[in-house]
């Protein structure tokens, strides 16, 4: 059995529109301690992350405390929306959830995000079966992973977690078969 804890990053500075370098807010830095506390009880073997700073920094406190190197995997990055910032994100997100292939000219569809995240996850499952694994992630990317294993997860569910940062989702696997998904709200004492 392999257990994977996807950790959606803590609150980040939305005034920084650069996806790669967007840092955590002071609240986000405080809240990542809740992630550390939760993970310390889980006998973690490996730590992976999206290369984006907010995802890395959310799991870094735990990784540093336990002496783990964070292995950055580009395919776990968040969805590219477009060349620029989108002000009406909710309408855009709804359109993408209604049509998994919809994308802006320089962006990615949810289908593309899901494919690369699942491919990266399957590679980890093949190489590191029967381990407890942490993956630093993002709201949309993580939502597409949930949707892959539970097709009932859609836009309404995405809307519910939109402001839930940090957020942990525990996946249990036998080989590559997902046998369980559990949402963990660490902000409210899980």
**Any known ligand binding at 126?**
no
**Any known ligand binding at 137?**
no
**Any known ligand binding at 12?**
yes
**Any known ligand binding at 11?**
yes
What does 89-149 look like in DSSP terms, one character per residue? HHHHHHHHHH-TT---TTS--HHHHHHHHHHHHHHHHHHSTTSEEEEEE-HHHHHHHHHHH
Using left for φ > 0, alpha for ψ between -120 and 50, and beta otherwise, residue 189 falls in: left
**Any known ligand binding at 7?**
no
CA distance 144 to 138: 10
**Any known ligand binding at 54?**
yes
**Any known ligand binding at 122?**
no
Q: Which residues of 66-89 are buried (b: 16+ CB within 10 A; e: fewer)?
A: eebebeebebbbbbebeeeeeeee
Q: Binding site: residue ranges?
A: 8-15, 54
Q: Binding site for substrate: residue ranges?
A: 8-15, 54
């Amino acid at each position: 059995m392999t257990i994977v804890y996807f950790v959606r990053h803590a609150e980040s500075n939305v005034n920084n529109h650069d996806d790669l370098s967007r840092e955590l807010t002071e609240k986000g830095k405080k809240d990542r301690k809740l992630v550390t506390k939760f993970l310390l009880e889980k006998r973690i073997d490996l730590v992976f992350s999206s290369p984006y700073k907010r995802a890395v920094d959310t799991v870094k406190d735990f990784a540093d405390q336990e002496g783990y190197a964070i292995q950055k995997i580009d395919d776990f990055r968040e969805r590219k929306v477009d060349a620029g910032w989108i002000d009406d994100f909710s309408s855009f997100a709804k359109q993408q959830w209604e049509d998994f292939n919809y994308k802006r000219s320089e962006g990615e569809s949810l289908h593309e995000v899901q494919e690369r995240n699942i491919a990266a996850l399957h590679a980890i499952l093949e190489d590191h079966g029967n381990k407890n694994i942490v993956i630093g992630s993002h709201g949309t990317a993580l939502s597409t992973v949930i949707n892959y294993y539970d097709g009932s997860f859609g836009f309404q569910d995405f809307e519910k977690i939109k402001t839930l940062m940090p957020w942990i989702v525990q996946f249990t696997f036998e080989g590559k078969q997902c046998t369980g998904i559990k949402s963990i709200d660490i902000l409210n004492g899980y």
